[in-house]
Amino acid sequence: MAELKRLRKSIDNIDAALIHMLAERFRCTQTVGALKAEHDLPPADPAREKEQIARLRRLADEADLDPEFAETFLNFVIKEVIRHHEAIAAERGMTP
C-alpha cells in the first residue's frame, strides 16, 4: 500500500504540473491571438498545425507514448486555441 500511495502522490504532482504548463501555454496563445488579430491574420494556421502534429507524434514515439493519443490531445488543444483566437478577433471587431 505504501507503493500505491507513493505512485498516486507522483501522479498528483504530475497532474498539477500539467495543469500549470497548460495554463502557461494558453497565456502564450492568448498573446498570439491578440497579435494575429492586430495584424489581421486568420485564427487558424493549418500549415503550423500540421507541423506541430507531426512534431508531437515524433516526440510521443520517442517517449514511448501512443502517437495517436498525442495527436488527439494536440488536436483538442489546437481547437480550443482557435476558439480563443476567434473570440479575440471578434472582440476587436474583426471577422475570423
**Mean pLDDT to the nearest integer, 10-37:** 97
- Residue 71's contacts (CB-CB under 8 Å, 6 or more residues apart) are 53, 56, 57, 60
Residue 96 pLDDT exceeds 60: no
**Mean pLDDT to the nearest integer, 58-77:** 98
Contact 64, 74 (CB under 8 A): no
Q: Is the dihedral of CA 37, 41, 87, 17 positive or negative?
A: negative
Length of the chain: 96
Q: What pTM value is reported for the model?
A: 0.84
Residue 26 pLDDT exceeds 80: yes
